[in-house]
Amino acid sequence: MDKPTPASAAENLPLSGLTVIDCGQVVSGPTIAMILGDFGAEVIKVENPEGGDQGRYFGRNKNGVPLTWKQLSRNKKTITLSLSKPAGQKLFCDLIEKTQADILIESFRAGTFERWNLGYERLRELSPGLTMIRVSGFGQTGPYKDRPGFGTLAEAMSGFAHVTGQADGPPTLPSFPLADTTAALYATVGALLCLYQRDAKKSGRGQCIDVGLVESLYTMLSGHAVAYDQLGIPGKRTGNRTSGSAPRNTYQTSDGRWIAIAGSTQAITERLFREMDRAELITDPRFDTNQHRLANVDALDEIVGAWVGALPRDVCIARLVKAEVAVAPVSDFKDLAEDPQMVARKVLATIDDPELGTLRMPDVLPRLSETPGRIRHAGLPMAVHNEEIYRERLGLSADAFDQLKADGII
């Protein structure tokens, strides 16, 4: 397969000129590389010749083409390389040195790169400005570091599942890779900070970033750790409610659909009460302040739910929007693909793809006013860029290239 886009497609993007070696697996590591690639970095995706990244088998496929992979591996060049074999390790070092790689991403179990003689100190000797991002379930240190770690375990252990779900129901895991994505966002911020220290502050040196899935999601669970520290509250499941404000819930409308209402401020709640024709609730001692509403949330939700339940969804939303109450439909992905706000914001980008023809996927975030990121191509099959990287960039002869392929190294 030919290269899908010329290198010039990334020239004017903010991270153009950077080289990222993506040895991440499944979701967290590849997400970091995706974000960096969206903003112009050259991302070289390294996969095991025997089966490739397991992310290729994650989620649904169409005619054998992995759909999640199309987004997760967009804007990346794909090569194969066996890092567990000495010849592969030597070739990997050549790749780091000859590209003068800026960022290396790995998401293997802690210590794996050291067992392969690919520790950070060795690699930084080859490329002094190299920043190495290490993503694992539990981090590179501590008594759990040698355990296999996946997002599911982090979502359970971080406290997320404990506080998610109905009060009388079981702990609830998310149906999407929440911990992986959260860790990836923290790691991406870390990578940009290291680049700033190296380049803007002229240290000239890269750094090593240690990111654990558990602690990343734990940190995102706003306020729970402090509430336990100061009040001894270990957290509990509250369904769609929150300990921060009330009313805050999902409510079913008369046509069997659902909306969400957030009375996050006193003014919004008072506007809701007036639109419900229940202005007397504003001075009701049970509901006159947020703390009183939280203390009487069952009664409050019964009143709000009864009013919502008497109206069709679209009528209810229209009335509350006009009254400047914070309300939104509970949308499915068909709704989102057709939603006028999403369409106007061009949230979905349409991509030409050699395997699927065309496909739509979420466009690049965040949106930069002058140098916005760009999807130059969707994720590609394995080893598409082996010839380019090994022959053109590393200077391997045709015979050497063929022998490495025959030996299962690439």
- Residues labelled as active-site residues: 180
> How far apart are the C-alpha atoms of 326 and 116, rounded to whole Å?
54
Per DSSP bridges, beta strands 357-362 and 348-353 are antiparallel
Please report, to the nearest 10 degrees, the dihedral formed by the alpha carbons of residues 33, 37, 43, 46 taken in order.
40
With beta carbons less than 8 A apart as the criterion, state whether 160 and 174 touch.
yes
**Whole-number Å distance between alpha carbons of 13 and 231:** 48
**Phi and psi dihedrals of 302, rounded to 5?**
-65, -40
- 229, with CB counted inside 10 A (0-12, 13-18, 19+), is exposed
Q: Which of 70, 106, 105, 217 is nearest to 151 (CA)?
A: 217
Sequence length of the chain is 410
